[in-house]
Amino acid sequence: MTGLDIKNDALIEVAALVTDSELNILGDGVDVVIKPEDAAVAQMNDFVRDMHTKSGLLKELPAGKTMAEAEAAVMEYIAEWVPEPRKAPLGGNSVGTDRVFLSRDMPSVVEHLHYRVIDVSTIKELSRRWFARAYFQSPAKKGGHRALGDIKDSIDELRYYREAVFVPAPGPDSATAQKIARRITGGETVLPET
């Protein structure tokens, strides 16, 4: 993006990777540079311009695809792996902002995705507060502020938190989970006791 202002900034790169429930990446993914209006590039602040210059994205913009071409490419990839609408959640770091831009520029993608999201930033922030040792050892980012690289970083980060913070699979048995829920809620559980 050329910035975070939904009224004035432009989506300039989009990527997608679908994973299975074990975070294995399915296929090669898709990564598309989008050619923005000149005004969107001109109004970028210095921080964003520097970031996109260092990553090489700024040089690629003139040869970018149209928004419609980018949307079609993303939809084709997602639908190949998740053909049924409303099954796949949007995932990544701080995906609330991504979803706002996708809603504006790629409505068919948002309509195909589930309304729920998997925001790795939430897990990161909770880990920082509750599991500081794990948080401070989390993997370094390598994506270089490019869409596909950042998604790969998010998947790696989620894999890390799964092993370092979440209890080992398959988790507690039902009786233990119910005891935890009763302790936390004062007796209320979602499912009837077994």
Query: Is 115 a known active-site residue?
Result: yes
Query: In this predicted structure, what is the pLDDT of residue 181?
Result: 76
Longest dimension (CA), the chain: 63
Query: In this predicted structure, what is the pLDDT of residue 143?
Result: 75
Taking CA 147 as the corner, what is the angle to CA 47 and CA 65, rounded to the nearest 5 degrees?
100
Query: In this predicted structure, what is the pLDDT of residue 188?
Result: 60
Backbone angles phi, psi at 189, to 5 degrees: -130, 160
d(CA 14, CA 116): 20
Query: In this predicted structure, what is the pLDDT of residue 19?
Result: 97
Cis peptide before 170 (omega within 30 of 0): yes
> 81 and 54 in contact (C-beta within 8 Å)?
no
> 16 and 151 in contact (C-beta within 8 Å)?
yes
- 3-state percent helix, strand, coil for the chain, nearest multiple of 5: 50, 10, 35
- List 77, 115, 135, 160, catalytic entry: 115
> Residue 93 CB: number of other CB atoms within 10 A?
20
The residues of the chain scoring below 70 in pLDDT are: 187-194
Query: In this predicted structure, what is the pLDDT of residue 182?
Result: 81
d(CA 154, CA 158): 6
> pLDDT tens for residues 23-46?
999 999 999 999 998 989 999 999
Query: In this predicted structure, what is the pLDDT of residue 9?
Result: 87
CATH 3.30.420.10 fits 13-185, yes or no: yes
